[in-house]
Structure formats: structure tokens, C-alpha cells
Structure 1
Amino acid sequence: MAQAPLLSRRYLLQLAGLGGAVFASGALAGCRRGGVAGRLLSVRGALPSAWAKALPSAWRSQLLDTPQALLQALDQPSLEPTLISLGDGWVGQLQRDRLLPVNTPDLLALLDPIAQAPSRLFAPASAAALAFPWAFGTWVILLRNRPDLLRRRREGWSLLLDPSLKQRLVLPASPRILIDLALRQLDLSSTSPNALDDPRLPQQLRRLHAQALSLDERHGLSFLQAGDADAAVVTSQRAIPLLQRDPRLAAVLPASGAPLWWQLLLRVSPAGGGAQPQAAAPLPLEWIRDGLSLPLLDRLLAGGWVPPLPAEQLQPALARWPERLRPLLLPPAPVLARCSSLPLLSAAEQQRQQQLWDQAMAG
């Protein structure tokens, strides 16, 4: 009897890997009560279409053009409980008191331990899980027709400061990502409590910013594809589909690691606070499980969406990919250990980063 939990967990892992039906009992029943179970809001292009089409029929899916539009939609009166899929960089703009626990301990147990902190939105380990991390990856350097820079990949993020990339580089619009990259160029860790006080950082950030032709990860890739830029810093999710169809492109994931990005499912109470937490829509567990296992897992990977499953579970699917792309989908363990998530910032931390940014830009 003492071994039952271990055997049960092993059985669930095997079923998840084979695409078997697990967690179905009771999950879809909740979706079928009363016609519409709830609505799922996502940003156009930020939820794999094959997975979205598999959403239970009792759910209503709504696509918004931008994360800002999604956040505005949450403020509109609605009687329907809501699930949202949102990138971690936008979660800080949600009203914390409207987030409800996801209550999916069995599904969360299937994920790699790296996903545990994002599931709590980086709160202490004792906090309830408020998100289900369904995809993750790194930021990478995407190069166009630059074999010379590709041969120097060991220089890592310092490649971005190469003189030949002056005004030929597309960087993210997020100051926080740029601060992280500048810290990595100085061999500093963004998780160090005193990293932002390094006197070299403002100048390093200014040098990096001065290289940019554009600060726009959403539309900036058009500069790269048109030949107006030679390099861009983008998420691995955006790089993977392009690398599959454009032989002019190559990607560099520095061995020193990179910032991580996350896509999260969150339960949000309706605007106005009229719904009790127990009335909120449960997660459609069977649908989530399908995204973690074959055959849908292959469709997610093709779009650059990598569920944060243990490496041994992902390997059979990754083995079918070209060898050059596998490390971009799932970095080798030593590289992944040097990657770091970007936790939600307190008001004081936001102010400190804003002061650093203003100081760098004013120099």
C-alpha cells in the first residue's frame, strides 16, 4: 500500500507520454454544466491553433489582437468565468485579487520543477498555484546571412555590440529584457540583489540601446526578413518557425544562458466581483493534458511552443527534429541551469529599474 502513490504517478506519466486519456473524469463534466462553461481569452498568434481548435465545445474562445486588448476585455462586465492565456511579461498588470487558484496539483506534478515558481507567479513555495505554465523557452539571437557572427557564437550576448550591427539590430521593446541582457554582457546575474547597483551597468545598457535599429519584437522581424537588419533578439517561439522555412537565418542561444519566457493559463473572476471563486470555471483538464502529449505535442513544438515537461518526456518528440533546432526547443541542461525567469517586480523594484533606465538613456 505504501507504494501506491509512486505507482500511480508513474502510471500517469506513462499515459501523458502516450497521449492516453487521463484526468478526464469530472473535468469535462464541469465544462458541460449549464451550456457554456466559460470563455478562454488569448492573444492572436499566442495560442497554437491546433490546440485552440481542440477546446471543449462548451467553452467559448475569443482572440484579441494584443495583450493590452486582452487586459481591457477583462474589465468588461461578463457573467462568464474566464480563463486567459497570457505571457509572463504581462501578468504583472493583472489585478492580483481577481486571480483564482488553478487547483491542478496532478497536472502540475507532471511538469519539470522549473515550472513550479511560475505557477505561483514567483510567490513563496507555500503560496497557491495561480497559473498553469503551458509553454516556455528562451530569448535568442536570430542572425540573417551572418556566418561570420555565427562562427563567433562563443562570445554570447556580447555579439550584439559588434560594430557591424550598429543600426542593424532589432531589440525587444521591454526595458527589463534589455537590462537583463546588459547584465549578462557584464557576467552579472539579474537575480543578484546588488546587480543593478553595478556602476558599469548604465553605460553598458546605453551601448546596447545605441546598437538598435528598432525596439519592437512584435513587428521588428520584418526588418530582418527584408534585409534592413542583420540580427534580432526574439523569443525562441518566434525563431523556430522562421528557422524551419528560411535558410538565410540562424540562431544563437548563448552558453551563458538567457532570460526565459513563459506562457500561462490563469483563472480570472468576472469583472465586478459578482462570481464566487467556487463558481469560476475549472480548467479543462483533458484539453490541457492533450497539449502535453502526442499527437498534439508535435503540433505545439512545430510552432515553437514547448511545454515545460521533464526532458526525458520531451526527448522522443524532439528526436524527430533537425539536430540544429533541438537545443533551441529545449536547451541542454547546463545552459538551462544558467537561464532565469523574470519574476514579477514590486513597486520599489519597478521604480529602481525605471531609474536605471532613465539614467542610462540620459547619459
Structure 2
Amino acid sequence: MTFDSDHHTSLSLFEFWPDKIFYTPIVLYWFFMGLRYRDLTISTAANPRIETGGLCGESKSSILDLAGPIAQQVIAPYRVIQNNAQAFEKVLVALDSLEITYPFVLKPDIGCNGTGVKLITSREMLQNVLPLFPTGVTLMVQKLITYPAEIGIFYIRHPDEERGRITSLTYKEAPLLTGDGHSTLKELILQDPRMGQIPQLYLPRIKGRENNILPAGETLSLLFAGNHCKGSIFRNGKQDITPALEERICTIMRDIPDFHFGRIDLKVLSPEALREGRDFQIIEINGVGSEAIHIWDRRTTLAEAYSTQFYHYRQAFLIGAAKKKQGWKSTGLLGTLRSWLKQRRLLASYPTND
């Protein structure tokens, strides 16, 4: 799967604005909604079985662990281990129990934006990577799903609704360098119409290889984890939201108790298979803190991006309020702050993602 050349070579007006600028209106909107409901963290009750509803600090595996038999069938197999002196042996046991081998994915159980996600290709690499994570941190060992396309689907279901709906579908693609036989990797990045505008995202990924020359026609992927802030390219795929896909996603998500709001990241065989609701595997499920990531398609206008953000966060507040009426509790400011500080501390301690 590749993007059209125009899409591949351009940035939107706001794609890489500093967070403090882009998210200020959203934070203000959040406060406005919180004051309206007399609870600034009421949205954390939208997914009440998950820490902070998935706003921050939540364990990835704890969300996947909630899955019933229908959802389990389409979740990429995983195990969790503690990173300590026995971690290497524990990973080997996990691989054995999952009946998988190299390459596989190793990632922090608590994290966001793909920070610390590693593609482990050998025993030697595993031995080298484990010490890069802090001792005591929980890591996920997950089967590598080799389907070619990575997708983010946003799902919302209000508590009084039997069926939910897909509000966003986004394709993710890792940027590729194509060799010409004489340019160095650094030159290829700087010459690229898109990468050349944001070289600070890509140059650290070729550290020590800047002067390597890629043979003519050979390609090099600069990114494994599909995250926009790390340099992945996103494309709005709303045209592929079909009744068949929506029906399948709703059936799966209903099998995760009290999950009402969030983004599902999955790998899929093809857009055709996706439209038919088949041949995909879920690699992660994100809660209240996740975004409808089609806003990072370069064709999305700033007005559309804010409209999308406000719409989704409003839904989170409405659902949180409805769940609170059912007797569930929101996290509260102190609890949310504790989770956010924990996540921030952990993110700072992880190695660079692949």
C-alpha cells in the first residue's frame, strides 16, 4: 500500500505545530465541559473498567485482558513480563507459550505514541534491548502481525445503544527511502519533499549510518511503530467504512465489557478485506486519551481537525456522565494526576522506538 505522490510529499498547515499551540483550544474545551458537568475527569468513567478510562497511565494488556472469546480471536497474541534479571528467560518462555519466534514485538505495557516499541529480530537483539528498559517495568511480548496495512479505527458506543459506530478510519504508512545508488541516507532524507521539511524526526533514526549509500531501487523503512508524532504518514480512509466493517467491529467491541470510547489499532490484509470486515488483527486498544487520527491527514483543514476533536471529547463527556449515573465513578483529579505523572516518568525512561 502506498500513498499518492501529492499526499506523500506535503505537510498540512498544523501537522507539526508544537503541542502547546495545537492542543490549547482542546484543553480549554475540556475545562469548559468539566465545569459544565461539575467533574473535570467525568470522561474517565466512559471506560470505567480501565485505569483513568484510558486517558493516561493505563496498562495496554489490562484492556486486552478484558476481551471475551469473540474479541480474543482477533487480538494479536501477547504475554506480559517484568523486566528484571530473569527477563530474557521469561521472554523465551513467553515466545514458547505463544508458539511464535523472531521477529516479534516488544513494547512497554504503559506508554503512548509508540514510545519504546521495538521489533526484535534475534536473540542477540533481545539481549541488547532488555537492559535499555528500566528494571521492574512491565513489558509486552506480542506476535508480529505481518499484514501490510496498519489502520486506526475510532469506535463510540453510548451506554443506551445496542450498537456502536465507527467515527474515523485512518491508514498509517511508514516513510520509505528509495536508493539511487549514489546519495547517502542523510542526503535522501534532506532531498525528500516531505521528510526534508521535518528532518529532526528522521535523522536520529539513521544515527551512525548517515553516510551509507542505498543501492539504486532498494528501499529502507525508517519507522516500525505507526505513530504520527514519530514520523508516520496518515491518510483518511473514511471511504472504507462499510456496514459490514462496522457490524464486525461492533460485535468485537461489545465483547469488551463497558468499553465505549476509543481507538482500535489493527493490521489488515488489504482495504478490500477491511471493507468486508475480515482478515485483520488488533494490536492495541486505546481509551479516552486516544484521537481520531485522520486529523493528521495533510488534507484535513484546521477547522475540520478542531471540529473532530471537540466532537469526540464531547462524546467522551456524555458517555462518562451516563456511566456515572449507572453508578460508576470517575478517576478524580488527584488520581488522574498520579496516573499522568507515572506515565510521564515511564515514557522518559524508555528507549527510542523502532
Q: TM-score range by the shorter chain?
A: under 0.3
TM-score normalised by the chain length of structure 1 = 0.23
TM-score normalised by the chain length of structure 2 = 0.24
